[in-house]
A and B are shown apart, each in its own frame.
Chain A
Amino acid sequence: MFNSYKLGEFFDEMLQKDRLPRDYCRPFHERLNVVDSRDLQERYELAQSDFLRQGITFTVYSENEGMERTMPFDFVPKIIPPDEWAELERGLMQRFDALNAFLDDVYHEQQILKDGVIPRDLIVNCQHFFEQVAGIDLPRRQHIFMAGIDLIRDDTGEYRVLEDNLRNPSGLSYVFQNRYVMRKVYPEFFNQYSVQSLEQQFSYLHSSMASLAPQNKSNPTIVLLTPGIHNSAYYDHSYIAQRSGVELVEGRDLVVRDREVFMKTARGLKQVDVIYRRIDDEFLDPLEFREDSLLGVPGLVDAYRAGNVSIINGIGNGVADDKAIYHFVPDMIRYYLNEEPLVKNVKTYLLRYEDQLEYVLDHLSELVVKHTNASGGYNMLIGPHASEEEIEAYRKQILKNPSEFIAQPTIKLSRLPAFKGDRFAACHIDLRVFIFGGEKTHVFPGGLTRVALKEGSLVVNSSQGGGAKDTWVLEESPVNV
């Protein structure tokens, strides 16, 4: 099954350069060498039908007809040894705390701008910077309740941050479902490994939410605000609400009276203290943002301003996860925490600077260029894979408004084996780690490993051929027999 497996110039998370498995992967690798491929194929189908039956699907639209598809699941997990995880965890907490400090600063004194660490115009021109929420004191000064930080490993195996998601990172439910299916369909794969359990995580999540209630209110009423069943992340919303024991509400279930928020129950109105919202800022409140929003609640932002309700994640967090601001996160860590960043960024060129623009335009065929306002792997140029014409077309786009673009060297995403029916192929992966704040900052063990199942592809997004893997953080090194 591994005969045709290629190592290439990338970091392989299972095999070393000499094709021997890394120590902590050895028991798993040995198992893969002895399993029967037909049995694996059957189990693969079992796993997919389990996802379908549970309705863990996303909707793909073609010819006006929505088709429900499951996210492909690959059973070779990403395994993280304990020491590697401990280091990563420290680095992510550091980054999380600095980003939160930045948000509180940028919506209050703006000291970091006054000190010239970050150019002011980058902030005020950012479409996610909302003056409407400047000066609001949040409970515990916590702007970030949950962050999803996307990590990759470069060709030396070093972890780097690719993106910070501080608005509505989704995917937490998939972490649980991947583990659930893995335990159910491939139970014996866990032999010889002691993997950190995910079970208590929701109690941490719940206490995080509760600790962010206004005026430190005890036993607050917490709700999760969803755009509704047609949203592509609805499963995520419903799963989190259920597991953390909070009410799942839509905008039409909430109403604001005298700067307080209530939900409409079968027995009248009930006051709400904390809203974990999964609706974007722009749609939250038609009185403050988009007037045409039917998803939001009129008057919500005013109740927030009055300190009568907590909205988590905070409004306006997008200013800290902007693709251009990203460049300055290491500076934030030094500025607010007086520490050196433990997890590095990917080298990033800001095209707003003349010299960097010039360099990028000369090296388009080697670089990945992204629009700062796009996400989900859309509207980007992957230089080495692009044709002459595509490059020229993108060059024109850049020149229209260079400051809206950033560029990065083609990232050599690490790889892991993925099952291909009769063999294993090396496919690129990344990892989204979830971190939540409140009483204290907590990193969720593991996260969502996304895999580009199309061989050679670097795009891991589920809308474009990506799949998922289970992620194991080991309690201790595996028992080699």
Chain B
Amino acid sequence: MKKILRYTVAFMMMGAMISLQGCEDYFDLDENPNLVNDPPLQTMLSTTTQKTGLNSQRVASITSFFVQYLAGPTAGGSTDTYEIADYTGTWDALYLAMADIHDMKQKARTEGASEYVGVANVMMAYHLMLVSDMWGDAPYSNAFVSTTLTPEFDSAEQLYNESLTLLDEAIAELSKTDSRVKLNAESDLIHNGNTSNWIKTAYALKARQLNKVSETSSYDPKAVLAAVENSYTSNADNADMGVFTTINPWAAVAQNNALLVLGGWLSEQLIEHLKGTTTGIFDPRIEQITERTVNGVFIGTPNGAGNVGPASSTVKDESYISRNSPLTSDEAPLIIVSYPEVKMIEAEAALRDDQRQRAYNAYLEGIRASMRLLQVDPAAANTYVTDPAVAVGAANLTLDLIFKEKYVITYLNPEAWNDARRYDYKYAGFTLPVGAALNTFIRRVAYPVGETSKNPNTPDSAPLSEPLWWDR
């Protein structure tokens, strides 16, 4: 029996010793196996460039209803009719992308990777534009840092200025030739590692920003033109992103719609504009944007009214986003900012600066570039560009004509809503949606529940009819 007792004690002691020795390491499970600590810059670049492209589409999937490119297939859709809707998903996607951009920039700084710093700045500036042009004031100066869980809101004007600073810094960083890490072409889903295109994009965004304040006293058309001059020279320079898990998100909307999960219905406003009902001239781009209905015509849906006509929605008797369009096909890249748009900015700024010929040239080149981008038949394009309604001559060029053309160029781009607001929605035939919740056009959206519920610094949302600071 003594023996057994001895064995017992020995056994226990052994057990205790083993657990003692093993103990320190045994409990070291601080490292989360699902995370990495120091991802290479290129893996952050692929994430951030893709998110930037997708966020442009996410925002556009809201604003395209406001500018009446799209219309709800069902009457009384909340975005369609200016109801207060909760865009938490979009807000979160924007901020989580900005956090990744912020992290990439920090890491690039430490590594002396000036090219990555520059790219991060461009994308950050772009996100600030998207956020503040939707909601106005928004967190930035102490956002994405782990020191506060309730970031403060910066004024929309501060964000505007910050975006310009970021773009200037980006241009400086991208111009450096001694970047310790070069942009990885495969991971750069926007410009394939081409720094000079990134610089052009920085200037294009700068031109957008400077032109956006056309209604304020600080507007300087010469500064806009200076930015334009350093920007894109052809569609090959466009900032776009075309890497998707499955297909282009617009194409996915069209695909679902074909399977009667309805969406992507084009607004009557856009269709009538392209058909020339409201503009007086048939625009050949319509064939490259959408398809004819089963009845061989183009029919848009009035915003807020939903499906019209006697036929049910199972009969494809209205126009939708098309998977055959160069802009919305399965593999089409999402365009963030394009050469034709920059030309239109040039046209507007030049016109406001009374440089009529320059304005006119830019106006025509913008249209032609847009036709090329949409792969319009050159003959048809030429017919349009030379039509007296379009080729009015430098002396007769008006802002209305520029906005009319730019409306088509920015199809499904979030920038369209900025233009619409600056232009006070004065597009020909533009009316309030049926059953609108406001008695004026929409000027902003309400802060999302996701932020209001978790960040007490969130200001009360202004009425959706109240213009942003630059939109007076």
A and B assemble together: no
| Interface residues of A, Cβ cutoff 8 Å to B | none
